[in-house]
Amino acid sequence: MVKVAPNVVTPQSEVSAKPKATPTVKPKASGRAASKAAKGDDVEKATAGHLDDQVIQRYVTSTLDEVIGNIKFNYKLAKDWNVKVINNLTRKLNASSDPRKFIVHSTLLPIGNDTGLSVANMCYWQTSFDSTHYVKWQSNTTACIIFIHLIDIE
């Protein structure tokens, strides 16, 4: 069954200064792994080797904590941060046991008065195999929105 899975994020009202970095994960669709419960403590051993939301949240959070942490937002550094975030997430996804192809999208913005951003994407695919994951991370001065799309191409 093919469905259109829209993902719309309007973080303008969500972006506010917080004392420490806080990730939020909002799964938009489930993959093959959701049809069977993962066994054991290791969340990376999800059925058929597919990544789940907890693993993706851990990948994104650890990457953003390493690359940006609590450094004050700096426009001159933002491009380098985005490149490092995408490269680190790509490396982690490649090293995982998930056989699906992936797309990683990162958006960085400063947190301040009247800061707003509207992000939208739409996916047309097999919801039983493919999934998209949204993680919002923020520090006192920086917000980051990550979309990871996992696509089963067989």
Spacing of C-alpha 30 from chain mean position: 14
Q: How many other CB atoms are there within 10 angstroms of residue 6's CB atom?
A: 11
User: Which residue ranges form the domains of the chain, and what is each CATH number?
Assistant: 2-6+47-151 (3.30.1140.40)
DSSP string, 98-109: --SEEEEEEEEE
Among the listed residues 146, 142, 137, the one whose alpha carbon sits nearest the alpha carbon of residue 75: 142
User: What's the confidence (pLDDT) of residue 24?
Assistant: 54
> Per-residue pLDDT for 139 more than 70?
yes
User: What's the confidence (pLDDT) of residue 58?
Assistant: 95
CB 124 within 8 A of CB 2: yes
> What's the predicted TM-score (pTM) here?
0.66
User: What's the confidence (pLDDT) of residue 40?
Assistant: 34
For helices 53-67 and 75-95, give the axis angle rounded to 10 degrees: 140
pLDDT tens readout for residues 33-87 = 333 333 333 333 344 578 889 999 999 999 999 999 999 999 999 999 999 999 9
Task: Report how many helices (DSSP H) and strands (DSSP E) the chain contains, helices first.
Answer: 2, 6
